[in-house]
A and B are shown apart, each in its own frame.
Chain A
């Protein structure tokens, strides 16, 4: 599967989501009634930053961000995890792919608030010290990149694919990576890397 959203909620559903979160009492210090009274709309959250915690690469990270901030915004701008890239900012290219609860996700299409309480994995969390993840090593060996801008997303999509389907067919690799665009078109190397990483496991 291409990178997709686990919960089917887009940032365009922002009001609904924040409303639900507020209603669930998950955001300290705010209530929809109060903010509604201040004329801030039905959701009542923001525009000020709110504080919460995200679990990223196995660590709890404190975040302060506007409710409208996407997961990509927060990873890149609040947590300095700049591996995931912003290239289209509307779920069309896959450069921002991260793994949330085991599934590949376009981080530009998920509100950071939606990712609370979930396991978020980014490209920065793949290697163990100097030891690369087999997918990372395979991308190097098979030259699965050129400029490298889409690479973190390609790597994360490949990791998610192989975790779900350890021995994909060549068609399965293409289908699994079809949510990621590489404008330099390093696809031959990317497919070879994915196949090699599957064998290496």
Chain B
């Protein structure tokens, strides 16, 4: 380790800090770095494949003799299979394998059996030929019903459906009551958020092939090829190296594809029985029922502030359901965003007979930030304080203060009071704001290999994943920067467990975790090229070799070689260097800030809310490619808008079934809902890794629902506390229903 002094911070707020960095790593990029390729708006490397239809997704994999699998799923929310007859299905045309999966089902859509046949239609016919004798049990799908002492037990036995937990180091109820009693202003509001599904356009799916030597090759639509590999190896008692998982392109994950899923095991069992490769893709309905979801929440927030607008108490009592499995914790924002002397958090996970939750883009934070920022606006109203001013008085993060300033100017915050009535008859406009907070600094683990061949070609290899975030492209940019090349001179291979290890792509972790290892590997490989060049010059002791503009140069040696010419000095086929991501340095700041402003127009007759404009101000350390960062931010905003206004899983209490398991009744924002979006990115030199890159996938969705809810409240003069903010709730708030 060596000490290095670097310049960190952001415009108008820079300072020098000393960081300890591993000797093998190149000097960290900081505010003084002049970068040629990093920071450019470059199109995605795989763009041509995506627009021509050549990009291959798991759904597009076709193997010799491959069968298609389909899954029989429970029509009941709670039932036991008394008997099942698979024989007729086995004899159906084209059917090559039939397996039983489970006899106990705890939600509508739980797998019961699976078949593999030569065609999809034959597999579906075979499912219809399976007869099941059911013993139907009592179910509970409603969150509040499930909390009652006499509710059917989701996990059976004596296990209660509700599991309460109390955050450590939080204030007692008494302390909270005292703090609230002593406050100048208080609020006590309850917010509700629905269960929503990821609805990735490419459903979960695998293609599985058993090889002659007993090993397995799995093509999976996944955010984590190594996690799938390890899961499959465990399920079939294989060694990890006997399983190879591949994922070149994937059609969306958003957190729902971070581990091995049951479909992969079913496909592998069918493939073993059929002695043929099997493709198993979930249908849209299955995806809704069993592909994961964001848990619901009910959040009671009691909060107080003193006469100076300083928070005195934040007290959250929350519960929510992630179905048969998965926590519904959503206290992150309330626990971390604002300074507050008295804070209490109590939460319960409630089990219901519904599909299990999965991580979903900023788990917990999306629902938590909506409630917290709604509550903060209400309290600001009680104090008669401007919502931004109130936030700033309680927010120690000066970066976010600057972001509020920038966003307020663009959004026209100072004209907010006049905006309300500016919409014309029968309509009202409103402007709202909300904050973001997230980690996104990444962590150690990923390994990257950089191979430079004698012909000058460069390949970056890493078993990470590009989810559509642009990982391929930014890794190439980082390597090109280090090697003084253009991005098109670098090939990136990823999505394969035969490549060096990488962690799953979740938590906005990929860019910050992988880019530093790319830099280290590229720098190490470059050092080998320089060695080779020096070795070709008798007596050369120069230490000032640098790769710039496609050349390798040394002033003291008087050398200037073109890249290909320099690489031709390599002895052997290539130089290959591998680097591992080290731990984060103690640089400028951990985590990302950010804030968003929403302008909405509400139709007071119909209750329809149209979001007109979002101004999004974010930071994610060093921005490798502003165009791709903006795309991710726009995606987060629109998913947040969709969550705020449209999406909700609807379960029928009587049957326990999902009533909108498709893409028309389960509404998702489309072209007509898209607002004008203005993205502002603060360039922050954070000095926490050798690239200083941070993730932006999750920070961008966190503030949107709260900003929209606050804008609607501003427009109406009434608050809607339940998401989604559908027209009926708007009219109810206006007293028209």
**With a CB–CB cut-off of 8 A, which chain A residues contact B62?**
80, 82
Note all chain B residues with C-beta closer than 8 A to A76: 60
Cβ-defined contact, B43 with A85, below 8 A: no
Cβ of B53 and Cβ of A84 under 8 Å apart?
Answer: yes
A20 at the interface (CB under 8 A from B): no
Interface flag for B57 (CB, 8 Å): yes
- Cβ-defined partner of B634 (8 Å) among A92, A124, A185: A185
Beta-carbon contact of B202 and A149 below 8 Å: yes
Distance of A192 from chain B, by nearest CB (Å): 11
Point out the residues of chain B lying under 8 angstroms from A93, CB to CB.
Answer: 201, 663
A56 to chain B, nearest CB (A): 13
A160 within 8 A of B: no
Bound-state Cα–Cα, A118 to B50, Å? 26
**Shortest Cβ distance from residue B323 to the other chain A in the assembled complex, whole angstroms:** 21
- Interface-facing stretch out of B437-445, B496-504, B669-677: B669-677
The answer to whether A140 and B51 touch (CB under 8 A), given A147-B201, A148-B468, A183-B252, is: yes
Interface pair B203/A87, CB less than 8 Å apart: yes
Pairwise interchain contact A140-B48, C-beta atoms closer than 8 A? yes
Binding-face segment, A25-33, A36-44, A65-73, A109-117: A65-73
Nearest-Cβ distance from residue B346 to partner chain A, whole angstroms:
34
Q: Does B632 contact A (CB under 8 A)?
A: yes
With beta carbons under 8 angstroms apart, the residue of B52, B284, B635, B664 that contacts A127 is B52
Cβ B44 vs Cβ A140 within 8 A: yes
Complex interface bits, A145-169 against B, C-beta within 8 A gives 1, otherwise 0: 1111111100100000000000000
A141 at interface by CB-CB < 8 Å:
yes
> In the complex, which residues of chain B have a beta carbon less than 8 angstroms from the beta carbon of A140?
43-44, 47-48, 51
Report the bound CA distance from A53 to B53 in whole Å: 23
Nearest-CB distance from B710 to chain A (Å)? 21
Q: How far is the CA of A127 from the CA of B249 in the complex (A)?
A: 21
Task: Tell me the bound Cα distance from A174 to B669 in angstroms.
Answer: 12
Using Cβ atoms and an 8 Å threshold, which residues of chain B touch A50? Answer: none
A49 to B619, CA, bound (A): 57
CB interface residues, A 125-147, toward B, < 8 Å: 126-127, 132, 136-137, 139-141, 143, 145-147
Specify which chain A residues have a CB less than 8 angstroms from the CB of B119 in the assembled complex.
Answer: 66, 77
**Interface readout for B461-503 with A: 1 if CB under 8 Å, 0 if not?**
0000001111000000000000000000000000000000000
With A122-B53, A151-B50 as contacts: A87 and B670 at CB distance below 8 Å: no
Q: Any chain B CB within 8 A of the CB of A90?
A: yes
- State whether the Cβ of B183 lies closer than 8 Å to any Cβ in chain A: no
Contact A188 B634 (CB under 8 A): yes
Contact yes or no, B251 A149, CB < 8 A:
yes
B44 near A188 (CB under 8 angstroms)? no
Q: How large is the interface on A (under 10, 10 to 19, 20 to 34, 35 or more residues)?
A: 35 or more
Which residues of chain A are near B49, meaning CB under 8 Å? 148
Complex CA gap A183/B251 in Å reads 9
Contact: B671 with A148, CB < 8 Å? Answer: no
> Binary interface profile of B, 103-142, with partner A (CB < 8 Å = 1, else 0)?
0000000000000000111000000000000000000000
Q: In the complex, A82 Cα to B46 Cα: how many Å?
A: 17
Counting CB contacts under 8 A, is A107 at the interface?
A: no
State how many angstroms separate the Cβ of A121 from the closest Cβ of chain B.
Answer: 12
Q: Are B201 and A87 in contact (CB under 8 A)?
A: yes
**Nearest Cβ in chain B — how far from A189, in angstroms?**
6
Closest to B673 in A: A187
Candidate in A68, A73, A88 with the most chain B CB atoms within 10 angstroms: A88
Contact across chains for B50 and A148 when beta carbons are under 8 A apart? yes
Quick check: B671 and A66 within 8 Å, CB to CB?
Answer: no
Contact with A along B47-73 (1 / 0, CB 8 A): 111111111110110100000000000
Residues of A within 8 A of B639 (CB): 183, 185
- Are A185 and B669 also in contact (CB < 8 A) when A82-B56, A136-B51 are? yes
Contact assessment for A183 and B121 in the assembled complex, using a CB-CB cutoff below 8 Å: no
Residues in chain B near residue A1, CB distance under 8 A: none
Return the contact of B121 from the options A66, A148, A187 (Cβ within 8 A).
Answer: A66
Name the residue of chain B whose CB is nearest to the CB of A153. Answer: B201
List B residues 603-636 near A (Cβ within 8 Å). 627-628, 630-632, 634-635
Give every chain B residue within 8 A of A123 (Cβ-Cβ): 51-53
B186 at the interface (CB under 8 A from A): no
> In the complex, what residues of A have CB within 8 A of residue B50's CB?
139, 145, 148, 151
CA distance A102 to B167 in the complex (A): 61
Indicate whether A95 reaches chain B with its CB closer than 8 angstroms: yes
Which listed residue, A69, A82, A174, touches B671 by the CB 8 Å rule? Answer: A174
Q: Does B101 contact A (CB under 8 A)?
A: no
Q: Are A83 and B284 in contact (CB under 8 A)?
A: no
Q: How far is the CB of B121 from chain A (nearest CB, A)?
A: 6
**Residue A62, interface by CB 8 Å:** no
On whether the beta carbons of A82 and B663 are closer than 8 Å, the reply is no
CB neighbours (8 Å) of B576 from chain A are: none
**Could you tell me the distance in whole angstroms from the C-beta of A84 to the nearest C-beta in chain B?**
7
B668 lies within 8 A of chain A by Cβ: yes
Question: At the interface, yes or no: B200 with Cβ under 8 Å from chain A?
Answer: yes
Smallest CB-CB separation from B41: which chain A residue? A143
Contact of A187 among B43, B53, B674 (CB under 8 A): B674
A21 within 8 A of B: no
User: Is the CB of A119 closer than 8 A to any CB of chain B?
Assistant: no
Please tell me if the beta carbons of A126 and B52 are within 8 angstroms of each other in the complex.
Answer: yes
**Other-chain residue from A66, A124, A177, A181 in contact with B201 (beta carbon distance below 8 A):** A181
Closest to B635 in A: A185
Given contacts A84-B53, A122-B53, A148-B55, contact A143 B44 (CB under 8 A): yes
B185 proximal to A (CB < 8 A):
no
Q: Say if the beta carbon of B394 comes within 8 Å of chain A.
A: no
Residue from A124, A150, A181, A187 whose CB has the most chain B CB atoms within 10 Å:
A187
Report how far A95 CA is from B60 CA in the complex, Å: 13
Within 8 Å by CB of A89, from B202, B284, B672, lies B284
Q: Across the interface, do A82 and B44 meet the contact criterion of CB distance under 8 Å? A: no
Map CB proximity to B onto A181-196 as digits: 1 under 8 Å, 0 otherwise. Answer: 1111111111100000
Indicate if B638 sits at the interface (CB-CB under 8 A).
Answer: yes
| B199 close to A (CB within 8 Å) | yes
Please give the distance in Å from A111's CB to the nearest CB on chain B. Answer: 13
Q: Which residues of chain A are near B57, meaning CB under 8 Å?
A: 85, 149
Interface contact A147-B251, CB-CB below 8 Å: yes
Is the CB of A178 closer than 8 A to any CB of chain B?
Answer: yes
On whether the beta carbons of B638 and A132 are closer than 8 Å, the reply is no
A106 to B597: give the CA distance in the assembly, Å: 37
With beta carbons under 8 angstroms apart, the residue of B93, B202, B638 that contacts A85 is B202
Q: Does A81 contact B (CB under 8 A)?
A: yes
A86 within 8 A of B: yes
Please determine whether B668 and A186 come into contact, CB atoms closer than 8 angstroms.
no
Q: Does chain A have a CB within 8 A of B726?
A: no
What chain A residues lie within 8 Å of B638 (beta carbons)?
Answer: 185, 187
User: Counting CB contacts under 8 A, is B655 at the interface?
Assistant: no
Whether the pair B671, A146 counts as a contact (CB closer than 8 A) is: no
Given known A-B contacts A68-B121, A148-B468, A187-B671, A124 and B202 have beta carbons under 8 A apart: no
Whether, in the assembled complex, B250 has its beta carbon less than 8 Å from a beta carbon of chain A, the answer is: yes
| 25 A-B pairs with C-beta separation under 8 A | A47-B93, A66-B119, A73-B121, A82-B59, A85-B201, A87-B251, A93-B201, A123-B53, A124-B53, A126-B52, A136-B51, A136-B52, A139-B47, A139-B50, A140-B48, A143-B630, A145-B50, A146-B470, A149-B57, A149-B249, A183-B639, A185-B669, A187-B634, A189-B631, A189-B634
* Given A139-B50, A174-B674, 18 extra CB contacts under 8 A: A82-B59, A82-B60, A85-B202, A87-B201, A87-B284, A89-B283, A124-B52, A124-B54, A127-B52, A132-B51, A143-B631, A145-B468, A150-B201, A178-B670, A185-B637, A188-B631, A188-B674, A191-B671
- Identify the A interface with B (CB < 8 A): 47, 66, 68-69, 73, 76-77, 80-90, 92-93, 95, 122-124, 126-127, 132, 136-137, 139-141, 143, 145-152, 155, 173-175, 177-178, 180-191
Residues of B within 8 A of A (CB): 43-44, 46-57, 59-60, 62, 93, 119-121, 199-203, 249-252, 254, 283-284, 467-470, 627-628, 630-632, 634-635, 637-639, 642, 662-664, 668-672, 674, 677
Ranked 7 nearest A-B pairs via Cβ: A83-B53, A149-B251, A147-B468, A185-B638, A148-B50, A146-B468, A140-B47
